[in-house]
Amino acid sequence: LSRMSHEQEIDVDFLRFLGRKGGEDEDEKSACVLQGSGDLWLRADASLLACSNRWGALFFVRERSELTCAELHNVRAACSVPSDEAAIPSAMRTVPISEAPFVLRLSHDDAKLALVSEASGATKLSVYSPSLLLCGSTAPLAEHTLDEPSPTLDFQWHPGDGQRALVLHEGGKLSVLQIDEAAIRTVSSCEKE
């Protein structure tokens, strides 16, 4: 492994334990590491959290109204200066979202980030480039409202093909999506008998 890859793994581990610190009694742990303007606004919903070794970055939905990303080396640097809590939010980039998000997933090669949300009873899929988000872009590569009238329960990227994904709908229906940089379309579907 290269030195860069090793450092990124360390950053991911750093983030996993960021929410735990020892108190006076070292057996007790507190999730309140950062408060006030230094609070990362992370909540317990793991379906809205994605961490990338490839980019050394964290992607999460904050307050259910912003897609937020940060490079972990910037978060680590901001955390190393305890008196400057305002440095942590400034290390993050945000994209406003208006729909209610319920799934955030990185593709297996970390080249695409899918945000699945619901608006007016319809499921919307927005696909972003993690590298472009980290550079400040707020525009998705592609967006698509699923035609299926039943609610979406889950979204999973194909483990070997970063341009395909599977969507599970209520009632057991599965849809296979083709996700290109400019368009998203349903290529096949099957229903539980």
Q: What is the mean pLDDT of residues 1-10?
A: 41
Q: Which token pair is 64? A: 């259910």
CATH number at residue 109: 2.40.128.630
Instruction: Match 């080396």 to its residue by tokens.
Output: 73
- Model pLDDT, residue 46: 64
pLDDT tens, position by position, 145-157: 988 777 888 999 9
Domain extent at residue 82: 3-190
The partner residues of 105 in beta bridges, in order of sequence, read 114
What average pLDDT does the segment 13-41 reach?
A: 45
The rounded distance, in Å, linking the Cα atoms of 87 and 92 is 9
Q: What are the Cα distances from residue 95, in Å, to 57, 106, 115, 126, 161?
A: 15, 16, 12, 12, 27
Based on the structure, what is the number of domains in the chain?
A: 1
Query: Which of 7-16, 108-117, 164-173, 183-192 has maximum average pLDDT?
Result: 108-117
The token duo for 168 is 């599970």
Number of neighbouring beta carbons within 10 Å of residue 23: 10
Closest CA to 113 of 162, 186, 64, 172: 162
CB-based burial label for 151 (10 Å; 0-12, 13-18, 19+): middle
Q: Over the stretch 156-165, which tens digit does the pLDDT of each residue have?
A: 999 988 899 9
Rg over CA atoms, the chain: 18
pLDDT in tens, 32-88: 444 444 455 444 456 788 999 999 999 999 877 899 998 988 877 777 776 666 666
Order across the sheet with 152-157: list the strands: 152-157, 164-169, 174-179, 184-190
